[in-house]
A and B are shown apart, each in its own frame.
Chain A
């Protein structure tokens, strides 16, 4: 495995920035420029590149979709949230239509924000492509078909040009797929969700979203620490603060940045990616959570090696 590309990082519901949000970013950038003029485009790019993330970028608003780039010929993707649309466009742009591709899609669970991008995933309409949808839910195929059926969607599932197969995986049982060992794990979420651990010869990535961690369940904590063990990257559901996740939003099926850090520390993981961002949070709030997560890791590190923390955003590429 070489890279992880985040195509959609938002939880529950896709979001879009309002005009007011963009206006505030422009005002902040102009205020930082303070009347400067720029010789050319490069100088302008350099200036913009030096602005804070919340001014020159955004976490984005597409729902869960993460690509794992392997050394093999196939494409590995976690979830089909609305981020599947730009993912599909990038694949079409790169391979066109005459070069058949195989896509392995791992579905965490069947809630809409993790499936809604599939009807907009352009490779599914291209004859010759092969799409294998992996998951652990018995209703996996029915859920995918259902959202492409009247009155939910104008294009019926039968219009897919690609060959689509479904692979019902067994939790805790490793599966060899395109040179990668993939192990699903049951997680606490309404209707169940599944995390996936991807192990290649040299790298390990864990995709664990829509997963609640009960703080009094020490056996579960240990079990997830083993699941995350020594991973190069753990993609973790950090939708709420710890206080929210254990009080007003208990049993909503999500976790926090604090538990993500603690689990990765216990697992001796190398890097944590905060993921499944709360749709009500703006860039400033998400960046504050990111900074607080870094600080929490610093003050709780003890004798452990540092844990690298990133906050995933749409378009982020991580080299493993």
Chain B
């Protein structure tokens, strides 16, 4: 079962994601992200997904990220991902999702930018 743990760092809401985000778990991922995305709006802390614990993401998982990115933009909030493992980074590059969702090399780097 997928679990998201949250913490605050430099004014950014950092959400740790772990495991596999595939066709079987994408709906659960959507459901868990939903309450966090509601607050991802102008004047609220940026929402950063720490992907260091994600071993795999399928197209269905990538779609969840695209929908999250769209919703945050519509609400004028900030949404990003950080610390992708090398394999997940490759999936982002091959699918070109690195052009859709801001991806930072580390949580610290992301917090420096998003926490300002």
What chain B residues lie within 8 Å of A292 (beta carbons)?
Answer: 93-94
- Asked if B63 and A243 make an inter-chain contact with CB atoms under 8 angstroms apart, the answer reads no
The residue from A244, A258, A299 contacting B59, defined by CB atoms under 8 A apart: A258
- Asked if B23 and A218 make an inter-chain contact with CB atoms under 8 angstroms apart, the answer reads yes
Query: Would you call B3 an interface residue if the criterion is a C-beta within 8 Å of the partner chain's C-beta atoms?
Result: no
Q: Secondary structure of the A side of the interface? A: helix
What chain A residues lie within 8 Å of B62 (beta carbons)?
Answer: 215, 242, 246
Report the stretch among B33-41, B76-84, B96-104 that lies at the interface: B96-104
Query: Would you call B90 an interface residue if the criterion is a C-beta within 8 Å of the partner chain's C-beta atoms?
Result: yes
**CB closest residue in chain A, given B99:** A243
Range class of the B interface residue count: 10 to 19
Range class of the A interface residue count: 20 to 34
- Asked if A300 and B56 make an inter-chain contact with CB atoms under 8 angstroms apart, the answer reads yes
Number of inter-chain CB pairs below 8 Å:
53
Chain B nearest CB, measured from A266 CB (Å): 8
What chain B residues lie within 8 Å of A258 (beta carbons)?
Answer: 59, 94-95
Per-residue contact bits, chain A 269-297, to B (CB 8 Å; 1 contact, 0 not): 00000000000000000000000110110
- Asked if A262 and B58 make an inter-chain contact with CB atoms under 8 angstroms apart, the answer reads yes
What chain B residues lie within 8 Å of A300 (beta carbons)?
Answer: 56, 58, 91
Query: Would you call B4 an interface residue if the criterion is a C-beta within 8 Å of the partner chain's C-beta atoms?
Result: no
- Asked if B95 and A241 make an inter-chain contact with CB atoms under 8 angstroms apart, the answer reads yes
**CB closest residue in chain A, given B98:** A243
- Asked if A296 and B59 make an inter-chain contact with CB atoms under 8 angstroms apart, the answer reads no
Most buried by A among B91, B93, B96: B96
Interface of A toward B, CB cutoff 8 Å:
215-216, 218, 221, 241-244, 246-247, 256-259, 262, 292-293, 295-296, 299-300
Could you list 20 examples of A-B contacts with CB < 8 Å?
A215-B60, A218-B23, A241-B95, A242-B59, A242-B96, A243-B99, A243-B100, A244-B96, A246-B66, A247-B100, A257-B94, A258-B59, A258-B95, A259-B59, A262-B59, A295-B90, A296-B90, A296-B91, A299-B91, A300-B56
Interface of B toward A, CB cutoff 8 Å:
23, 56, 58-60, 62-63, 66, 87, 90-91, 93-97, 99-100
